[in-house]
Amino acid sequence: MTSTGRKTLMSEKASEDISSYREEIDRLDSELLSIFNRRANLALKIGRIKKTMDLPVYDPSREKRIFERMKGDNTGPLDDGAVVRLFERVIDESRRLERIMTHPEGSEGKGAE
């Protein structure tokens, strides 16, 4: 086999690998979306309870515990800083939904900012 033939076969194999990895990423993204929405629904339930008990939406000690637990569970390759940043974003969105729910002021759930 010529050098060009080997390169072509390697290129085809690499393209198949990339395609396969991207398909798996797409499946994982769909799972993540489902999990994020399930988590958001639970946060809304908590928000309703907090509202009836006149508790604040923001609970810094709870968030700190979440970050510490996630860092402890982290096996990489994401570093702890990346994990915290990801969970900060997830928690920010949950908090935003809780605020919308407790202070609607014309805001609707999907796409409201």
Question: Is position 107 within any domain?
Answer: no
Q: Which domain holds residue 94?
A: 3-102
Query: Residue 105's pLDDT is what?
Result: 64
Percentages helix, strand, coil for the chain (3-state, rounded to 5) are 75, 0, 25
Distance CA 38, CA 12 (A): 39
The CA-based dihedral angle spanning residues 38, 42, 47, 48, taken in that order and rounded to the nearest 10 degrees: 110
Question: Is position 64 within any domain?
Answer: yes
Question: Is position 70 within any domain?
Answer: yes
Beta strands in the chain (DSSP E): none
Query: Residue 39's pLDDT is what?
Result: 96
Question: Is position 111 within any domain?
Answer: no
Query: Residue 1's pLDDT is what?
Result: 66
Question: Is position 113 within any domain?
Answer: no
CATH number at residue 84: 1.20.59.10
pLDDT averages per 10-residue partition of the chain, 113 residues: 72 89 98 97 92 92 97 98 98 92 60 40
Question: What domain count does the chain have?
Answer: 1
Question: Is position 86 within any domain?
Answer: yes
